Amino acid sequence: MTTSTPATSSKKVFFTGGAGFIGMHVVPLLLERGYDVKIFDNMSRGDRLAVNEYMSSGKVELVEGDVRYGGAVASAMRGCSHVIHFATVSINKSVADPYESIDINMTGNNNVFAAAADQGVERLVFASTASVYGDPERLPMHEDDTLRPLTPYCITKRAGEDLLGFYQRTKGLSWVANRFFNVYGPGQKLDAYYTSVINTFIQRIRSGQPPTIDGKGEQSMDFVHVHDLAKGVVASLECEAENFPVNIGTGVDTSVAQLAKILIQALGSDVEPIFRPRDVLVSRRAADITRAKELLGWEPTITVEEGMSELVKAAIES
Ligand X SMILES: NC(=O)c1ccc[n+]([C@@H]2O[C@H](COP(=O)([O-])OP(=O)(O)OC[C@H]3O[C@@H](n4cnc5c(N)ncnc54)[C@H](O)[C@@H]3O)[C@@H](O)[C@H]2O)c1
Output phi, psi for 85, to 5 deg. Answer: -115, 105
Residue 46 makes contact with ligand X by CB under 6 A: yes
Of 138, 158, 163, whose CA–CA distance to 147 is shortest? 158
88 binds ligand X (CB under 6 A): yes
Binding piece for ligand X, criterion CB under 6 A, among 60-68, 164-172, 232-240, 284-292: 60-68
Interface stretch with ligand X, choices 21-29, 215-223, 252-260, 267-275 (CB under 6 A): 21-29
* Least spacing, CB of residue 271 vs ligand X, in Å: 27
Residue closer to ligand X (CB basis): 45 or 148: 45
User: Beta partners for 126?
Assistant: 85, 177
Which of 50, 84, 141, 183 lies at the binding interface for ligand X (CB under 6 A)? 183
Count interface residues toward ligand X (CB under 6 A): 31
Binders in 62-81 for ligand X, by CB under 6 A: 66-68
The answer to the question of residue 104 lying near ligand X (CB under 6 A) is yes
* E-only strand ranges, 5-110: 12-16, 36-41, 60-64, 82-85
Q: Are 21 and 230 in contact (CB under 8 A)?
A: no
Amino acid at 85: H
- Contact segment (CB under 6 A) with ligand X among 4-12, 51-59, 188-196, 274-282 equals 188-196
Report 156-175 residues binding ligand X (CB under 6 A). none
Single-letter amino acid code for the residue at 216: K
- Establish if 44 lies at the interface with ligand X (CB under 6 A): yes
Nearest position to ligand X, beta carbon: 20
CA 40/CA 13 separation, integer angstroms: 10
Interface with ligand X, residue 237, by CB under 6 A: no
Nearer to ligand X, 66 or 238 (CB): 66
Q: Among residues 153, 167, 184, 194, which one is catalytic? A: 153
Q: Which is nearer to ligand X, 233 or 273 (CB)?
A: 233
Stretch that binds ligand X, among 7-15, 18-26, 168-176, 267-275 (CB under 6 A): 18-26
71 contact partners, CB below 8 Å, separation of at least 6: none
Give the integer Cα–Cα distance in Å for 69 and 74: 9
Distances (CA, A) of 83 to 15, 26, 32, 93, 268: 6, 13, 17, 25, 43
Residue type present at position 256: V
Site for ligand X in 245-304 (CB under 6 A): none
> Dihedral sign, CA of 302, 306, 312, 315?
negative
Burial 92-107 (b: 16+ CB within 10 A, else e): ebbeeebeebbbbbbb
8-state DSSP, 105: I
Binding-site member from 76, 87, 141, 198 for ligand X (CB under 6 A): 87
Nearer to ligand X, 45 or 227 (CB): 45
Could you say whether residue 27 binds ligand X (CB under 6 A)?
Answer: no
DSSP 119-160: TT-SEEEEEEEGGGG-S-SSSSB-TTSPP---SHHHHHHHHH
Q: Does 45 bind ligand X (CB under 6 A)?
A: yes
Is 184 annotated in the active site?
no
Give the catalytic positions in this structure. 153
Contact set with ligand X (CB under 6 A)? 16-17, 19-23, 41-46, 66-68, 86-90, 104, 108, 127, 129, 180, 182-183, 189, 192, 195
